[in-house]
Amino acid sequence: MTILQLLKTAPITTLLLASFIGLFVLQIVTGVDANNPSTEALLSWGANALPFTMSDEPWRLVSSAFLHIGLMHLLFNGFAMYFFGQIAEPMFGSAKFLALFLLAAIGGNLLNNYVTWQGIIDGTGQPGISAGASGGIMGIGAALLIAALFKILVNGMVLNLKSLVFIMGINLVYGFAVPGIDNAGHIGGAITGLVIALAFVIGYRQRVAVALQNAAFQQQRNANPYQTTHHYGKQDSDQYNSKYNSQYNDQLNNQDSHDSNDDAHLPPLDTDFNNQNAGLDSRQPTLDRYDSEIDSYNSNTRDIRSNDMNHSTVRHTASPDHPDHNNITQPTAPPKEPIKPAIIWQLLPWLVMLLISIGFVWWWQDIHEQLLQVLKSIE
């Protein structure tokens, strides 16, 4: 990945790398040895040292994370930051990534000072000096371990848990095996990053669960069949009855006309009585059929009118053949409204980092008070 690509993908990572290199170049320009800087030079450039950091210069908890002791130290931490940062920053977001790095670096330096202070009290240790971005980088690595453990996707892929464990293990083993390595700083940074990453994962999984639920609701809404409800008001009912009565009257008129035509074909009254009876007998099936149809028609008419008057709403499929009705289209089952993720899940990582910051302030204050009490007793 080129510098421009890294700047676009992970701008904070690029700025951190630039600050590491820029500060080291300034040290060299001012005469600091590139491979073996002196203690005085490191202190003047902001290294972490218990008597200074825990008394009245707490800013060294941050400044020491940008200072490196020699070129090899810079190259090692620079490569680790490049490797972890281009993955972690897009995952957590630039702001959270920067806060994670700074808090992990502070946590590593505080644990280093606490261990050193306990060693001084027990008589088994002495003040030392530390510098480097190792604590912050270990915090980022621990956060990536949590992300891999919970299978959080990064650009559509899951992080390789075994590779991350291997890299973190090398750093810890190297810190215990080689003298002069601030292993307490590594552990403190890793614990800080782990706690922050857990808060991020919890909030992330809750937001993903809500997003999947909303997607299921949307799919259900799109899959629901729709039907049209027609509401017949009083005016519609009157129009229907008028139209029906007109059709019924026309039918009866046609029937009367048909009967009159049949009567016109009857034999005259002065014809033979037997011929009249024969003519009536020939007409009898036709008259019976008409009477039966009229009775059936009247019965159906009463049933239809009764049904229409008792039910003001008729549900049927929408059709262009019914343009005169008020159509209200609704699904058979009302769709559920999308659920919005609770704001607490978005703020959870920031709340956890705020609590960690408050805890760090208290921790520094506690060691600071103990240090002042010891100094007063010595005086």
Express each pLDDT in 51-70 by its tens digit.
899 989 999 999 999 999 98
**Which residue, 197, 205, 207, is CA-closest to 96?**
197
Site of tokens 């800080």: 192
91-133: pLDDT as tens digits = 899 999 999 999 999 999 999 999 999 998 888 877 888 999 9
> Distance (Å, rounded) from C-alpha 258 to C-alpha 242?
24
At 179 the pLDDT is: 55
Crossing angle of helices 234-264/273-310, nearest 10°?
A: 180
Check if the beta carbon of residue 91 is closer than 8 Å to that of residue 160.
no
How far apart CA 226 and CA 315 sit, in angstroms, is 11
Mean pLDDT, residues 70-81: 91
The pLDDT of 163-169, averaged and rounded, is: 75
Strand 226-231 versus strand 326-331 pairing type: antiparallel
Question: Which pLDDT does position 369 carry in this prediction?
Answer: 93
Lowest mean pLDDT among 69-78, 109-118, 200-209, 260-269: 260-269
Q: Look at 108 and 240; give whichever has higher pLDDT.
A: 108
Confidence band, pLDDT 50/70/90 cuts, at residue 239: low
Angle, alpha carbons 38-39-43 (nearest 5°): 120
Helix (H, G, I), strand (E, B) or coil at 226: strand
Instruction: Flag the least confident range among 256-265, 268-277, 297-306, 334-343.
Output: 268-277
Rounded to whole angstroms, the Cα distance separating 29 from 23 reads 10
Q: Is the pLDDT of residue 259 over 60?
A: no
With residue 70 as reference, give the H or E element that holds it: none
Predicted local confidence at residue 295, as pLDDT:
55
Q: Which residue has the higher pLDDT, 263 or 187?
A: 187
Confidence (pTM): 0.68
Looking at per-residue pLDDT, the higher value among 223 and 78 belongs to 78
Q: How far apart are CA 125 and CA 168, in angstroms?
A: 27
- 178-183: long-range pairs with CB below 8 Å, 24+: 182/108, 182/112, 182/130, 182/132, 182/134, 182/135
